[in-house]
Amino acid sequence: MKKNIDKMCEKCNKIPAEVKLIIYEAGKKKVLHLCKSCAEEESLGISSSTSSPPVPKKEVPLLKPEEDLVCAGCGYKFSEFLKVSKFKCEKCYEAFEPYTSRVISEYHKAEEHKGKIYKGIYTENKEFKLKVLRRALDEAIKREEYERAARLRDLINELEKKDGS
Amino acid sequence: MNWKKKMVPDRFKWMSEKIPFWLRFTSPLYGDMVLSVRIRLARNLKGHMFPLFLNDEKKVRVFNLIRDALTSIKELKGLRIYEITELEDIEKEFLLERHLISKDLLKNGRGRGVCIDMEEKISLMINEEDHMRIQVFYPGFMFEEAFMKTMEIDDLIGSVIEYSFHKKYGFLTSCPTNVGTGFRISCLLHLPASVITGRVQDIINYSFSQDITVRGYYGEGSEVLGNIFQFSSLRTFGKSEEDILSNFKNAVYKIMDMEKEEREKLMRDSKDLLEDRVLRTIGILKNAKFLTSREVMEYTSHLRMGAGLNLIDINIEKLNEVMLLNQPAHIQILFGKRMEGKERDKFRGILIRSRLNIS
């Protein structure tokens, strides 16, 4: 009698298992005894565990610094990044240097971005930014902060050049 | 209250009744080999943590921000926006079967969603691994059209939402494997002859040498069904979008040449066997009372190759249609009725005979 119970579908546990499904999970082979409809769902990759062709997967290369790094933006630690290979916020990229650069160049075999350059949000916001910058420039000149004024002028020129992009 | 359980929600009725743009047309040349092209961009909002680290409340905030931005773009009018928590299981499966969302999007929690346009050229996933995954789908060989569309949408959205962008690293993403362009191009290829002769291993090895990964019909972690493989570019950083596109396209041409060689070989050495397979398939489809979706994928593959080799006269778009509609959630939404496995198998038979006009 016990044998019969064992032969129930391992997923829904309601219908006797008819199908033996071999799935690969993280490169490991796993055998499941399922009823037909569960096997169908399973093999379509719709339910939680899925079968996949045993294809080699590229992993993010691992590195270990002597001292853990912490992102000032979000408090995330480099050691935590190493566990999941995901950054927590945009500031993590710079916070984890020089390891960020190594992780990225090792995976992508490249040193810097060569694609589309993001030019920022649209004119209304550009006008807003220009207004803010021009006011700051006026103030800087009034206060005779010439170095800062030069920097602001550069920023304004840069922003104005973005026109028509 | 039992009747309610049997009802199928009709939110996606509008979608289930039509075939998405990417499956509706096929190129006369190799139309049976290249099913579709997909381009995906990963984009994040400046000043917000990546979604995997956001709690529900913050995710909802990002979701609303993106939704408001999208509705403000007049060129994107007609996008329909769904939050995942408002969907029933069968509807989530329906979107997966249509390749519009990924399984990762379905993980628990609020503030995840998807925007879809009427033609299903665009699917924009919100708060999956990145704040936005812009996906564009085109049929067959329409690489350039898909590319232009993707860039256009990216510019439109990027002009109302400030993206997270870094001078050295480009568009910043949660995972360093997507950083830079955030650009990934994939293609569904039907390679039955290479599977028969075993050449498919060469194709997979060649793809890896070209920084292209090979996956199953439903993408990452899924199985190859009906001899359809998903090829997908791997590198996103250090190369421009145009270069990634052109490398990928060249590789696809090469893979198709390999498949063509195998088809010619089979036609030369074992035409009878191929014909037998096609005719047997028609016999089964004509007479089988029950058909599983796995079987349908297999049989449509035989017919698709048969059509490609002029062994039978069958409309490839009709095969696409059947491939789409026979899937478990689709068949239930199409017939407006919740069904268990066996019942679905029966309706599948009815569907196929009527759509392919074989009886």
Say which of A51, A93, A103 has its CB closest to residue B223. Answer: A51
**Which residues touch A97 (CB under 8 Å, ≥6 apart)?**
none
From residue B196, give the alpha-carbon distance in Å to each of A54, B14, B265, B274, B302: 18, 39, 11, 11, 11
pLDDT given for residue B142 in this prediction: 82
Angle at B39 between CA B38 and CA B40, to 5 degrees: 120
Q: Closest Cα of chain B to A136: distance in Å?
A: 22
Separation CA B183–CA B123 (nearest Å): 15
Chain A contacts in chain B segment 37-56 (CB below 8 A):
44, 46-50, 52-53
What is chain A's mean pLDDT, rounded? 74
A114 Cβ under 8 Å from any chain B Cβ:
yes
B328–A41 CB contact, under 8 Å: yes
Mapping DSSP to helix (H, G, I), strand (E, B) and coil, where does residue B34 land? Answer: strand
What are the two backbone dihedrals, phi and then psi, of residue B188, each rounded to the nearest 5 degrees? -95, 120
Chain A contacts in chain B segment 244-273 (CB below 8 A):
none
**Which range is least confidently modeled, A48-57, B163-172, B252-261, B311-320?**
A48-57
What are the two backbone dihedrals, phi and then psi, of residue A120, each rounded to the nearest 5 degrees? 90, 175
B201 Cβ under 8 Å from any chain A Cβ:
no
Say which of B44, B97, B161 has its CB closest to residue A90. Answer: B44
User: Tens digits of per-residue pLDDT, A111-159?
Assistant: 999 988 887 775 445 665 677 678 778 878 887 878 778 877 887 888 7
A115–B239 CB contact, under 8 Å: yes
Mapping DSSP to helix (H, G, I), strand (E, B) and coil, where does residue B188 land? Answer: strand
Output the pTM of the full model: 0.79
B222 chain-A contacts, CB cut-off 8 A:
44-45, 50-52
pLDDT given for residue A152 in this prediction: 78
The stretch B279-298 carries a mean pLDDT of 93
Percent of chain B with pLDDT over 90: 72
Chain A contacts in chain B segment 214-233 (CB below 8 A):
214-218, 220-225
B103–A45 CB contact, under 8 Å: yes
From residue A10, give the alpha-carbon distance in Å to each of A19, A36, A41, A42, B340: 10, 11, 13, 12, 17
Give the residue from B144, B137, B273 showing the smallest Cα distance to B197: B273
Q: Could you give the angle at which helices B341-355 and A36-43 cross, rounded to 10 degrees?
A: 60
Chain A contacts in chain B segment 102-161 (CB below 8 A):
103, 129, 151, 154, 158-161
Q: Which residue of B has its CA nearest to A90?
A: B172
User: Tens digits of per-residue pLDDT, A35-78?
Assistant: 766 766 665 443 333 334 444 445 555 566 778 899 999 999 99
pLDDT given for residue A21 in this prediction: 66
Decide which of B168 and A1 is more confident: B168
Q: Closest Cα of chain B to A94: distance in Å?
A: 10
pLDDT given for residue A165 in this prediction: 42
Decide which of B8 and B179 is more confident: B179
What is the full DSSP assignment across B107-170? Answer: SSSSS-EEEE-TTSSEEEEESSSSSEEEEEEEETT-HHHHHHHHHHHHHHHHTTS-B-EETTTE
B180–A113 CB contact, under 8 Å: yes
A139 Cβ under 8 Å from any chain B Cβ:
no
Q: Sign of the C-alpha dihedral, residues A139, A143, A149, A152?
A: negative
Chain B contacts in chain A segment 44-103 (CB below 8 A):
44-46, 50-53, 55-56, 58, 60, 74, 76, 85-90, 93-94, 100, 103
Separation CA B113–CA B44 (nearest Å): 15
Q: Which residue of A has its CA nearest to B102?
A: A46
A86–B129 CB contact, under 8 Å: yes
Separation CA A132–CA A149 (nearest Å): 13
